[in-house]
Every structure is written in C-alpha cells, then in structure tokens.
Structure 1
Amino acid sequence: MFLDVVELRDFYDGHLGLLARRMIRRRVRELWPNLRGQSLLGLGYTVPYLRPYRGEAERVLAAMPAQQGVLHWPAEGPNASVLVDEAELPLEDASVDRILLVHALENTEQRAAMMTEAWRVLAGNGRLLVVVPNRRGLWARFDHTPFGHGQPYTVSQLSRLLRDSRFTPTRTVHALYAPPYTSGLVIRSAPALEQVGHRWFTRFAGVVMIEAQKEVYAPRRVRKRVLARARALLPSGRPSVPVPANRDRTA
C-alpha cells in the first residue's frame, strides 16, 4: 500500500530524508552520469532524485500512483508531474529512454501489471533503475521512514523479479549504510559510513538498487524448421511431391 504523498514530501524535507536523498542520489548519478538528449520517467515518489536531470535530460516526467496522490512538481516551474494508474501508464510504446522506480515496487498491489507497463513504455535500448528497501538492512525495520513500509527485497529476489518481467539486470549497487536515526553524530558521519559500508558491508545497506535492460527478442523462424523436420520424416525413396492420380502410367 502506498504512503500518502504528503507524508513522503514531509519525510524528504526532514533530516533523515535529506540524508537518504543525498546518499541515493549519489548512486543514481554514478549509474546514469549523463542523460543529455534522453527522456526520463520517474514512477512512484521520485522527485527528490529527478531534479538533477531537469536541466540535462530532454524530458523529465514524474508519474505518481493514484493511491499515493500527486503534488505539483517542480514548485518553481511548469508542472511535470501526473497522477497515473501504475498498471496503465498514459504513454506510448517505447516512448522513454530511462525509467526510475522509487517507493513504487515495494508498495504496489499491481506488481506484475506495473512491470509490464514499464517494459512496454521503455525504448528497446532503454534502462530501468529500481530502488527498493533491503530486506537485511536497518531501514526496512523501522516504519518512521518510507523505506520501512511495503515489501523489502534481497538482491536475488529483485533480480528474479526483473528477469520474470523481461528485464536483464546489468548493475547492482547499494546505499544508506548509516542507521535511520536523527542523531547529529549519525548525520555528520553518514558520508564516512557510506564509504565503509560500500566497501565491506553491502548486504546491510538500507536500499538495493538494480539497473536492468529491456529484453527484446528477435522473432524465431519456426516455419523453416517445421518444413525441414517434415521433409526428414518422409519415407525413404518416396518423392516429396505426390504424383497426380490421373497420370498415364504407360507413357
């Protein structure tokens, strides 16, 4: 079940939200350092992570599920957010180059349909980036943050879901190694904890992030194989083309 959009906005305006925004955004930027000339769709509550791309990508759109609610975004310019049914996105096939899912997959009750829609609207050479709470991390154990709601995932669980949804995982990263406390010491030491955790304790990160590529298969040439098999099954010494019944056999 989705959290209300106002709760999400208030979280990201607070100390822990600013910490999560900074740490996760850094990893997103490492995976996608340059989206110049490309289109970017955020599904869920992604606006804290879309902002760096507004002046870079050709088009940035924030799609917010109906059960969550929608807010005007960005505050300082024309609206780029839209209220959607995550199982029926109002976009054409293969119309976006990048899709970012945050606070989406772990909360939706239409997981299969949402992933089908993500596959449909993503371009053939596009990339999907999913951010979900880590089942083994501390952030999934406390419900005073959005990462403590919904279904958390391990790397293997998320990878399997992506493959079942016709995506091929390409890169996996983690973020949020600092505990979800508002202590000034924790906030100040978060960058150092991030470096240590990224090197030694990835399994205990707060979130799992997997980038995946859309699987597009070439049509198989079944007809030729079927014909070849049919010829191979003909009786030995018999012609492959039948002789007409009224042919003059004495000729």
Structure 2
Amino acid sequence: MRLWYQSMTRPAAWPAYAEALRRTLDRAADPGTEIAIHGIEKRGGIGDQYRSLEFIETIEVLENAARAEAEGFDALLLGNIADPGLRPAREMLSIPVLGLCETALLTACQMGASIGLVIANDKHHSRILENVALTGLTTRVVGVERMKVDRLADLDAAFSPGEARERILGQFQAAADACVARGAEVVIPAAGVAMVLLAEAGIHEAGRGVPVLNASVALLKAGESAVKLNRLMGGRFTSRRGAYAQPPAGQIAELRRAYGPVFPRIAEG
C-alpha cells in the first residue's frame, strides 16, 4: 500500500526532524508499505501554532490531498497536531484521511482511562483543546502542561546532543510528571516533532507505568489498518452522510464551473 504522510514543516528548516521522521516511520511500517513524506514547500512551514499561519499552510495541505488521490495513494495521513484540513480532506477524497491529533486521542483511550497532554507552548493550548472537544473526549483529558518552545523550529536542534536537547527533554519530563500527578494514565506529546524527538531519545514512559505515545507511529499503523478496512468494505470507509457527504452528481458540473476541478471522483450527472 502507498501512504501520503503530510507534515506541516518546511524540510529545509527542519532537516534533523525530517531525517528522524523518515527513520521512525520506516522502522514501524509493515512490509510492502510505501510512505511518501511531504512537507510545506510553497509558503510557511515554521509557525503553525498561529491560526492565521496554519490557515495559509492548509491551502497547500488540501492541494496535496488532491495530489495524493490523483497519484494513486491509498490513504492520506496528516502529521500535525492541529489536524489541519482533516475534515475538508475527508469530505473531498475517496481514500481514508486520518489526523495526528484525532488518532493520538483515540489510541490513548485504548491505552489508559485518562490522558495528559504536553503542548509546546501556550499558543497551542486552546487549539489542541478544540480538537479534544471535537472528538468528544474532553472528560478523558485530566491535564494539559506545557514546554517553553515558543519558536517551534528550535525543536530541530534538540535532535543533536547538546544543551538544546537536554533542556527540551527536561522540559518535557517536568510537564509529563505534572500530567501524571494530575492522574494521567497516558501522556501524549502534543507536537509532531516532539513525538519523534522523544522516540529517538528512547523515552517511552513518563514514570509510574505511564506510557508516552508516539502518535506519529500510531498514525502510520492506523493508516495501514484504515487502508485494509477500506478494501474489505468495498471502498466505504468514510461515511457519506452528514459531515462528510459529497455533492450529488447533478450539482457537480455547476460547482466545477464556479470552483474549478473539485471532487474529481464524482461523475457529472
């Protein structure tokens, strides 16, 4: 199977992370799974904790979503904790579309009864909790603690030994400890780069038997499962009633005149 993994980082600004993400996903992939990792190339890719910048980058995400389906990929994986473009892409594509935050939360529910989130900075706080609310899991989250990474690109330096690495790993451990003290049974590093950094550092437990979830790997494995389910269900993995309903064939010609080549899998009626 072929999976399109869409990061929200600009590869040139995050070289160490890009290499670590590739190593992490390749180690975890099933035999026969091909993973194409794409970042942000056109505009941005360094500060998506700000809503306006996330919005700008999401345009490219949705363009790449259309590319993924056109090029024959079996699923789209959105590897950013804000799940940018998740719901529009699900509505648009015929292949499964999974998001990092949603997948992390649903996976954590299978691992423990309560969840702690370690966010990168204060700006991420409300954005992440909005995603929690969308999944209906607000009552499962017992703690949200933060590191002090206001400039997200600073995380890239932590992939090499040195002061930055020790400082950021120490900040994560302190925040994870606080989550555990609040009753968390699973801790999610609520930043895609941090997840991979911790996995590379061999940190899989927050203490007292509390696992630290690498949701990048969870997203990959959920993507593989979604592709298999989609095949077994005759391509009916995504509901077409309500939230992810597509336009009826009788309207698609009119919509294409106004918007361009939208919903490419729908034949004009």
Q: What TM-score, normalized to structure 1?
A: 0.37
Which is bigger in relative contact order (C-alpha 8 A, separation at least 6)?
Answer: 2
Greater helix fraction, Structure 1 or Structure 2: 2
Instruction: Please tell me whether Structure 1 or Structure 2 has the larger radius of gyration of its CA atoms.
Output: 1
TM-score, scaled to structure 2: 0.35
Higher strand share: 1
